[in-house]
Chains A and B, each alone.
Chain A
Amino acid sequence: MQELIIIIITAALLSNVVLSQFLGICSFLGVSTKTDVALGMGGAVVFVITVASAVAFGLYQILELLKLQYLDTIVFILVIACLVQIVESFFKKYVPALYRALGVYLPLITTNCAVLGVALTNVQNNYNFWQSVACGFGTAMGYLIAIVILAGIRERNAANDVPAPFKGSPIVMITACLMAIAFFGFANLSI
């Protein structure tokens, strides 16, 4: 149990998926204009990544049995695409408001490299089932934390007087840069 908690904290804070591994930058910069939308996006990513790591673990066992490990990238990406489709249909039916707010970014979770990244990391680290799920959940929580913080900062930033050349994406990247420096602080956590 303790080991699983360590995996979750490491994945969420110490090697934050967005700020230190640069996975999922697309949606991190794109859906972070409002905190509630960012929260919805983060929630969807938590669900997709957690389920994807569990499913990917099972699939890899089958691939290993058949000695087809080299097909992992192809198999994982197809499974992720299907999962995202399921989440999309679910949101469309039950949470239509959030579905509209997330718009194009929902199908884009497929190309969110964080999802495939976690699945491949789990395989590389030889994690067992629960370790894989913990790593997936932790990584996704890291994404959620980062995107909600960025959205909060951007909401305040909107009223600030930003120098003209920095308007738009440059100031968002500067913000991300400062957040990345702040997250360095977690490196000193001794666990």
Chain B
Amino acid sequence: MKMNKHLDAIYNGIVRENPTFVLMLGMCPTLAVSTTAINGAGMGISTTVVLILSNMLIAALRKIIPDGVRMPAYIVVVATFVTLVDFIMEAYTGALYDALGIYIPLIVVNCIILGRAEAYASKNTVSMSACDGLGMGIGFTVALVVIGLIREFLGAGTVFGIQVYEASSVFEPIAIITRAPGAFLVLAMLAALQNKFKMKSATNGLNGTEEKGCASDCESCGGGCQ
């Protein structure tokens, strides 16, 4: 039973409350680094690591941090782990570090992390919060890889950096998909498909939240939205 509870928290993050497709959180990194599947995976994994560690520390400190200063406290915790991840990536994954650039330190302001700290880790045990962080992180990574694959396949004709088709008279890679406008376009199409098939998403009100027009990013963004 105890095990099930943990698995359920992980499953929840990947499917039921997928941060990108259902909660629509953390859109900035989603749009910016999903140019290729590999970049998406790198961003997803580094965010997952920060998410698990910060969830655990915040859950451990949840009875000590006074309510009035919890936001600054969370931000310091998250920023510390982001700095650590930043160093580790700079040391061991040079090319990926260059590709992700400024978006690595910007994990600090990713809505998902502060959102989970506020909505979950501040109320649950360390082990449950770790599972929640793992689930949310995997959900985010999967979403980034999927969007990255679509953009890479349509925009450059590659999958995980391997050329799968050449430009021909039948179909030519649509270069703009890998550039900035393509990010908005692919995400708009995915959101429209979600609406079409009435899948749960923060934007169509099917999970009980009102449409906020901001793709509801702020909902549990940690910015004192509620």
Number of A residues contacting the other chain (C-beta, 8 Å)? 50
List CB contacts (< 8 Å) of B189-206 with chain A.
189, 191-193, 195-196, 203-204
Contacts of A168 in B (CB 8 A): 191, 195, 203-204, 211, 213
Q: Is A108 an interface residue (CB 8 A)?
A: yes
Q: Is B208 an interface residue (CB 8 A)?
A: no
Contact with B along A158-185 (1 / 0, CB 8 A): 0000001111111111101110110010
Contact A74-B80, Cβ < 8 Å, known A22-B183, A108-B221, A169-B24: yes
Q: Is A70 an interface residue (CB 8 A)?
A: yes
Contacts of A24 in B (CB 8 A): 28
* A77 partner, pick from B75, B184, B191, B203, beta carbons under 8 A: B75
Q: Is the CB–CB distance between B215 and A169 below 8 Å? A: yes
**Cα–Cα, bound, A48→B27 (Å):** 22
Q: Is the CB–CB distance between A178 and B181 below 8 Å? A: yes
Contacts of A107 in B (CB 8 A): 223-225
Q: Is the CB–CB distance between B79 and A74 below 8 Å? A: yes
Contact A105-B105, Cβ < 8 Å, known A71-B83, A73-B83, A111-B114: no
Contact with A along B151-178 (1 / 0, CB 8 A): 0000000000000000000000000100
Q: Is the CB–CB distance between B184 and A26 below 8 Å? A: no
Max chain A CB contacts within 10 Å: which of B108, B204, B211?
A: B108
Q: Is the CB–CB distance between A181 and B176 below 8 Å? A: yes
**Cα–Cα, bound, A137→B211 (Å):** 32
Q: Is the CB–CB distance between B195 and A164 below 8 Å? A: yes
Q: Is A104 an interface residue (CB 8 A)?
A: yes
Q: Is A23 an interface residue (CB 8 A)?
A: yes
* A170 partner, pick from B87, B105, B188, B222, beta carbons under 8 A: B188
Contacts of A20 in B (CB 8 A): 180
List CB contacts (< 8 Å) of A89-128 with chain B.
104-105, 107-108, 110-113, 116-117, 120-121, 124
- Interface size grouping (class) on chain B: 35 or more
Contact A73-B82, Cβ < 8 Å, known A26-B217, A170-B191: yes
Contacts of A21 in B (CB 8 A): 32
Residue on B nearest A119 in the bound complex, by CB? B105
Contacts of B218 in A (CB 8 A): 26, 30, 104-105, 108
Q: How far is the CB of B148 from chain A (nearest CB, A)?
A: 14
Contact with B along A133-163 (1 / 0, CB 8 A): 0000000000000000000000000000000
Residue on A nearest B205 in the bound complex, by CB? A168
Contacts of A73 in B (CB 8 A): 79, 82-83, 86, 105, 108
Contacts of B142 in A (CB 8 A): none
Q: Is the CB–CB distance between A29 and B214 below 8 Å? A: yes
19 A-B pairs with CB atoms under 8 Å apart are: A22-B183, A25-B28, A25-B217, A26-B28, A29-B213, A30-B212, A73-B108, A77-B108, A81-B72, A108-B225, A111-B222, A116-B106, A117-B102, A168-B211, A171-B188, A173-B185, A174-B188, A177-B188, A180-B181
Query: What residues make up the interface of A, taking CB atoms closer than 8 Å to B?
Result: 19-27, 29-31, 33, 70-71, 73-74, 77-78, 81, 104-105, 107-108, 110-113, 116-117, 120-121, 124, 164-174, 176-178, 180-181, 184
